[in-house]
Amino acid sequence: MIEMIPVAYPLIGEDEVLAVSEVLKSGMLAQGKNVARFEEEFASYIGVEHAVATSSGTAALDVALKAIGIGEGDEVIVPSFTFIASANSILFQGARPVFVDVDRTTFNIDPDDLLEKITPKTKAVIGVHLFGHPFDLKAIGEICDDHNLYLIEDAAQAHGAEYNGKRVGGFGTIGCFSFYATKNMTTGEGGMITTDDDELAGRCRLIRSHGEREKYNHTILGYNLRMTDIQAAIGIIQLRKLEEFNRKRIKNAEYLNRHLRMEGLITPHKKGEVKHVYHQYVIKLEDDFPMSRDAFCEYLRSNGVGCAVHYPIPIYEQPLYQQLGYGEQRCPVASALARKVLSLPVHPALTEEDLGHIIEVINNL
Ligand SMILES: Cc1ncc(COP(=O)(O)O)c(C=O)c1O
């Protein structure tokens, strides 16, 4: 059997193992001093005043939207081409997701279509730094300012990505990160909220933990969406490795860009003003590509190259959203991309041999 180069692979070293075992032996497993330290170090890395750790990226979005005050009757604009959590966080507040189309080259939120989708009910915009490429923060930021809208940065796939030299997660009202196992840095499961707003950060802390201001004094309705000290111990070490992980992702992506030669295969686009951290390396297969995407995936896998489709269905076409009455929605670019995109391995665990094999398999098609 051919061994498969996986499309994602978490890099965990002995130092993470040691840190976890220290927490396990300490008797303090739940949210404690490791979470506090991870928050402090993450806030400083992103360049914001506050970071609030959560149990997942989905929890981060949920807490952030609730803290901002999104609720019934509100509309929140979100790209149609992203992971479903970006939109579901709006549904969880009883608000209505309004889907906006994406740019055909960066796959990110399209400012022109965003303008078309704003109504008197619009309260916020969730921009997603998809696949590690920052969205157009200047254009989207200006639209949000002009229309008095909150801007939520979904940076679940963009730890360490930069826009004009500044790290994402510090541009909008609030930023949300995920530390799921496949992300640029991981805690297994986990999330982080980033903001410069003291009051908003305080509300996030309350919502994350039963609205508890001090021990057994509950001032608002909250959940238990806390991170454990076990996860935070991993996160502290992964954060120190993040720049090196990203450097390798960028190097791997540049290698693939230089060597992939196939008609109809378009390598990922990167705008000049951004640092793209290649959470995924997403190619497009145009009509002149010699095979169907399904057949190409099968060919890759049978030759030991893992691949995946991010994402095969625009969110409004998902069965859940069809049941919610989104049948008439049309985002033509998102619909076309869903049929064309394919993610190839780019993670930092790839060896030179792996990269050479990926190129050989594709160029010899
Ligand atoms: C764009 C985006 N938003 C939100 C999330 C949710 O994060 P989590 O899986 O940690 O809940 C993800 C995770 O895959 C994501 O890719």
What is the value of pTM for the model shown? Answer: 0.98
Give me the mean pLDDT over the 75-88 stretch: 98
CA of 198 to the centre of ligand 1 (A): 25
Q: What is the pLDDT of residues 273-307, one digit of tens each?
A: 999 999 999 999 999 999 999 999 999 999 999 99
Does 147 score more than 60 pLDDT? Answer: yes
User: Which ligand 1 atom sits nearest the alpha carbon of residue 82?
Assistant: 1
* Among 86, 153, 255, residue whose Cα is nearest residue 268: 255
Q: What is the pLDDT of residues 48-76, one digit of tens each?
A: 999 999 999 999 999 999 999 999 999 99
The helix or strand, by DSSP H or E, that contains position 328, with its residue range, turns out to be none
CA of 253 to the centre of ligand 1 (A): 22
| Whether 310 contacts 339, CB under 8 Å | no
CA of 295 to the centre of ligand 1 (A): 28
Please state whether beta strands 274-275 and 217-218 pair in parallel, antiparallel, or not at all (unpaired): unpaired
Nearest CA to ligand 1 atom 14: 83
pLDDT attached to residue 46: 98
Average pLDDT, the chain: 97
Does 41 score more than 70 pLDDT? Answer: yes
Neighbours of 119 (CB within 10 A): 9
pLDDT attached to residue 302: 97
pLDDT attached to residue 135: 98
Give me the mean pLDDT over the 88-92 stretch: 98
What is the distance between the alpha carbons of residues 121 and 79, in angstroms, rounded to a whole number?
A: 17
Helix (H, G, I), strand (E, B) or coil at 140: helix
Helix (H, G, I), strand (E, B) or coil at 236: helix
* Among 232, 210, 228, residue whose Cα is nearest residue 220: 210
pLDDT attached to residue 2: 66
Q: How confident is the model at residue 328 (pLDDT cuts 50, 70, 90)?
A: confident
Q: How confident is the model at residue 327 (pLDDT cuts 50, 70, 90)?
A: confident
CA of 58 to the centre of ligand 1 (A): 6
Supply 214's token pair: 């001090």
Number of H helices and E strands in the chain, helices first, is 12, 15
| Whether 304 contacts 363, CB under 8 Å | no
Q: What is the pLDDT of residues 230-288, one digit of tens each?
A: 999 999 999 999 999 999 999 999 999 999 999 999 999 999 999 999 999 999 999 99
What is the distance between the alpha carbons of residues 170 and 350, in angstroms, rounded to a whole number?
A: 30
Does 153 score more than 80 pLDDT? Answer: yes
Q: How confident is the model at residue 100 (pLDDT cuts 50, 70, 90)?
A: very high
Mutate to test the pocket of ligand 1, among 61, 83, 193 (most ligand atoms within 8 A of CB): 83
Pocket around ligand 1: residues whose beta carbon is below 6 Å from it? 56-58, 82-83, 85-86, 128, 154, 156-157, 178, 180, 191
Rg (CA), the chain: 21
CA of 173 to the centre of ligand 1 (A): 19
Helix (H, G, I), strand (E, B) or coil at 78: strand
To 10 degrees, what angle do helices 293-302 and 352-363 make? 130
Neighbours of 272 (CB within 10 A): 5
Backbone angles phi, psi at 163, to 5 degrees: -125, 120
Supply 359's token pair: 């190129």
Does 1 score more than 80 pLDDT? Answer: no
